[in-house]
Amino acid sequence: MTRPVVGIIGNHHLIENSYEVHGGGMMNTEAVAVVSGALPLLIPADPRFVDVHDLMDTCDGFLFTGGRPNVHPEEYGEDPTPAYGTFDRARDAVALPLIRALVERGQPFLGICRGFQEVNVAMGGSLWPEIRDLPGRMNHRMPPDGTLEEKFELRHAVSFSEGGPFHRLMGAQSVMTNTLHGQGIRTPGKRVVIDGHAPDGTPEAIYIDGAPGFTLSVQWHPEWNAANDPVSRPLFTAFGDALRAWAEAGQATPVSKVA
């Protein structure tokens, strides 16, 4: 059986500060290939090279990954300041209209970290420039030192709405996750349902209300140890099920059917 194709939205990088590349984390491709059972296809996120409609016709679904650059605040009506960090306007120009088109068409996608934030902005929401500067909030950023294992270790709980899609999917109303982000949702976008929070109130899990297809997105990084982690594995498995339903029969998988 032919595997469904997942477009993995890449990030712009410079090798040795001079050679431009589009890159994607190996753990993203491994999670898609091994756990979701799909064919990973790295997408150069630049509107000079790709078109939203061509992408949707080529791929069965999409993974909107994390990345160091943030969504440009002009996308939600605010002026950029140093607090907002660095940006990737080319990725914004591909990811945001793609998300809106996928929502309406019902094609499955999974958003992770920056991808989670992109989903919110694409639907008209806004972001805080720095979560740790807010009163009562913890530091959600990646620890500056330590091994990769220490950077991605489980650091806080996420509590889900009772009976919601994440509760049903995980079989638990509270799970432990890693945390490696500076920004976060300020105002939810239209139809964005916040289905999970960190203990300090930071939104951590969302979906799009009334969307015909799979629209789950998370603020943490489930691609880390996805094959073995009891929280990551069901998320990527459900994503794979939605991909196959779309690839084989053009059938959308709404959140009401995620379990």
Question: For residue 180, what is the domain's CATH number?
Answer: 3.40.50.880
Tens digits of residue pLDDT in 123-166: 999 999 999 999 999 989 988 778 888 888 999 999 999 999 99
Provide the greatest CA pair distance for the chain: 52
Residue 100: predicted pLDDT = 98
pLDDT at 9 over 90: yes
Residue 166's domain spans which residues?
5-257
Tell me the CB-side half-sphere exposure of residue 253, using CA atoms within 13 A: 24
pLDDT at 1 over 80: no
pTM of the model: 0.96
Residue 232: predicted pLDDT = 97
Tens digits of residue pLDDT in 200-221: 999 999 999 999 999 999 999 9
CB neighbour list of residue 95: distance below 8 Å, 6 or more residues apart: 9, 45, 64, 115, 118, 122
pLDDT at 45 over 90: yes
Cα separation of 236 and 155, whole Å?
A: 21
Q: Which of 20, 100, 6 is nearest to 55 (CA)?
A: 6
Cα separation of 35 and 3, whole Å?
A: 12
The domain total for the chain is 1
Residue 176 β-bridge partners:
157
H-type helices in the chain, by residue range?
26-30, 52-58, 89-105, 114-122, 148-151, 165-170, 232-249
Tens digits of residue pLDDT in 156-205: 999 999 999 999 999 999 999 999 999 999 999 999 999 999 999 999 99
